[in-house]
Structure formats: C-alpha cells, structure tokens
C-alpha cells in the first residue's frame, strides 16, 4: 500500500511538472505572452483595436497578476479541462483535440494490444529455446524492423499500396465499412515496429529467468519445457515486461504521430503539424499536455498491473525477499 501511495504521488508530481513546464514555455518565450496565447494572427488583429480593448484582454487572461497567481489559475483551468481558446479555429482547444485524440487512440490501442501479445509470445518462445530455429529467424528479422524508423516503414508500405489497387494510399475513410482497410497500413507499421521492441525485451527477460534455480527444480520433477516456460518463467518475466510496455507507450504515441502524417490520418499527428504551420500556440500547448497526460496515465496503469502480477509490490516487501 505504501508503494502504491508513493507511486500515485509521483504521478501527480509528474503531471504538475508537465503543467508547470507548459505554463513556463508560454511565459518565458520572448515577446508579449499574448502572442503565444492568441497566436500571431489573433494578436495582430488585437493590436488594431483600441488600448482599452487590449487591456481588457490582458485582464481576461490575468496577465497583470503575479506569476504565481497566473500559474495557480493555469493549473485550475487545466484540471477543469480548459486548455485555452484556438483563435485560428475559433473553438475551445479541448473541443478540437477530443475528436482527433479519438482517431489516434483508434490506431494506438489496438496496436499496443496486438504488439504486446505478439512480442510477448514470440519473445517467450525464442527465449525459451536460445539459438533455436525461432531465435535464429525472428531475432534478425525484428532487429532489422526495429532499426528502420517508423515513417520509413510507412513509406515502404505506401510504395506497396501504389502497386496494389485494393489498398488506399492514405487519408480517412468516407464510410465506416472501409475503416479497417484504411487502418491496415498505419496500424501495421505501429504493430511491426512495437512488436520488434517487445520481442527483444521478452526474449532477454526469459533468457535471464531460465537460468534460475526454480527452473532446474521444475525440470527435475519431470515437467515439460513448454509447461515450465509458460507456467513459471513467463509469469516471473511479466512484471518487468509490463513496465517496459508502459514506458514504451510514450514512444509509440510519438511514433504514431509521425505515422499519421505519412498516411494523412486525421489524428493528433496531423493536428499538431497543422497547428505548428499556423502557429496556433494554444492548440500546440494543449496537444502536448494531453499527450503527456496520456503517457503518465499509461504508466500509472502499468504500475497497478505490476502490483496485481507481483503481490510483493503491493506490500512493499520486494526488497526483503
């Protein structure tokens, strides 16, 4: 329980650090903070208004208050879901991000589940028989896949799609029945790249476990190697594997943004790209805050799963055993 409480406090502090960094980036950038709040286009339009109107805008955003009071207000609004206003889109930032985040998660969540299962199972089988035929075939293949950046894999698939009429070149489906077809290539890139990483992690974790004394004891009792692998070895290799999967979620999130741009998938990747091009600072700031919060949440969930898989984590007695 103490461990879980300490972990919860760490995640809360991490979230506050993200909020603080997000606040400081706006206020420490050179120039008038209103430029970074309203965007260059909105600021230019505002400068054509009377001084009284400009002063009213400053009071609205509390720029005349102390930095501490502004920071506390920033945290309060962010926790309430108020991430600012996009003058470029003429809408609240959260209302712009919400549907785009859904499209990104539509790619990301199935990719995480499929790659975790595939990488875990294949890595366990290869690690259970080092230098076996699976290890000799899969390890070089996945090393090759992981060494290629995700966007390059995406470009290779686009070349393939160009020669296969049934595969779309990217974009969004016009009808829901075509959803799986349009998701196939961007999700395939994410699954391949992530499976390669998780395969290596699980393989190395299993290889470390098969040299432990309990494996020799199980073999002396006449248990088959496959039973030992999935009943004992994988069970002990799972907690560190789940932790690595959660940490890798942040890299997958970043990788999915680049892959979305390659395939013109209308998720967070294209949203951030368009926001950078239009210099929509509130939208950029809100997007990165949501992404950071998603990564923190994924790691918190992994900590909970880790505690379920290893009861010693919950009791805080792991170091004593």
Which residue blocks in 61-92 are alpha helix, DSSP H?
67-79
- Quick one: which of 270, 242, 246, 277 has its CA closest to 256? 270
pLDDT given for residue 321 in this prediction:
40
* Alpha carbon distance 238, 308 (integer Å): 11
The span from the CA of 310 to the CA of 297, in Å, is 20
d(CA 45, CA 221): 80
Q: Are 296 and 11 in contact (CB under 8 A)?
A: yes
* Per-residue tokens: 250: 């942040």
How do residues 196-239 score in pLDDT, each as one tens digit?
999 999 998 888 888 788 887 887 777 777 778 878 888 888 87
pLDDT at 3: 61
More confident site: 205 or 30: 205
| pLDDT at position 153 over 50 | yes
Helix (H) or strand (E) holding 86: strand 85-86
How many CA atoms are closer than 13 Å to the CA of 260, on its beta-carbon side? 26
The residues, any chain, with a CB within 8 Å of residue 221's CB and separated by 6 or more, are none
Largest alpha-carbon pair distance within the chain? Answer: 88
The pLDDT of residue 320: 41
**Each residue of 253-304: pLDDT tens digit?**
777 888 888 888 888 888 888 888 877 878 888 888 888 888 888 878 877 7
Q: Of 132, 127, 141, which is closest to residue 206 (Cα–Cα)?
A: 127
What percent of the chain stands above pLDDT 70?
90
Summarised one tens digit per residue, pLDDT across range 109-120 is 899 899 999 999
pLDDT of residue 253: 76
More confident: 210 or 316:
210
Domain ranges of the chain: 17-93, 105-320
The pLDDT of residue 314: 54
Helices (H), the chain: 2-28, 33-47, 51-60, 67-79, 93-128, 133-147, 150-163, 179-209, 213-220, 225-228, 234-263, 268-277, 281-309, 311-315
Q: In CATH, which of 1.10.3720.10, 3.40.718.10, 3.60.150.10, 3.40.1280.10 is domain 105-320? A: 1.10.3720.10
Question: What are the tens digits of pLDDT across the range 61-70?
Answer: 777 777 788 8
Place of tokens 């230019």: 44
């Amino acid at each position: 329980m103490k461990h879980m409480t300490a972990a919860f406090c760490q995640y809360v502090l991490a979230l506050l650090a993200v909020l603080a960094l997000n606040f400081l980036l706006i206020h420490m950038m050179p120039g008038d903070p209103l430029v970074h709040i309203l965007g260059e286009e909105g600021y230019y339009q505002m400068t054509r208004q009377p001084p009284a109107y400009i002063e009213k805008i400053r009071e609205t955003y509390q720029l005349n208050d102390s930095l501490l009071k502004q920071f506390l207000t920033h945290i309060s609004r962010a926790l309430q879901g108020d991430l600012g206003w996009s003058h470029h889109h003429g809408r609240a930032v959260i209302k712009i991000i919400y549907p785009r985040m859904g499209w990104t998660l539509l790619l990301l969540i199935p990719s995480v589940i499929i790659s975790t299962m595939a990488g875990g199972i294949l890595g366990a089988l290869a690690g259970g028989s080092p230098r076996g035929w699976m290890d000799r075939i899969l390890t070089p293949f996945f090393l090759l896949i992981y060494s290629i950046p995700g966007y390059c894999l995406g470009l290779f698939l686009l070349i393939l799609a160009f020669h296969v009429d049934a595969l779309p070149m990217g974009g969004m489906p016009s009808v829901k029945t075509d959803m799986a077809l349009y998701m196939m290539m961007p999700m395939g890139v994410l699954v391949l790249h992530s499976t390669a990483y998780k395969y290596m992690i699980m393989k190395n974790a299993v290889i470390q476990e098969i040299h432990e004394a309990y494996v020799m004891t199980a073999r002396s009792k006449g248990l088959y190697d496959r039973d030992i692998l999935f009943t004992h070895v994988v069970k002990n290799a799972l907690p560190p594997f789940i932790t690595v999967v959660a940490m890798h979620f942040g890299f997958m999130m970043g990788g999915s943004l680049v892959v979305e741009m390659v395939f013109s998938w209308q998720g967070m990747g294209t949203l951030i790209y368009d926001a950078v091009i239009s210099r929509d600072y509130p939208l950029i700031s809100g997007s990165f805050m949501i992404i950071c919060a998603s990564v923190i949440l994924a790691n918190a969930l992994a900590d909970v799963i880790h505690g379920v898989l290893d009861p010693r984590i919950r009791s805080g007695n792991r170091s004593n055993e």
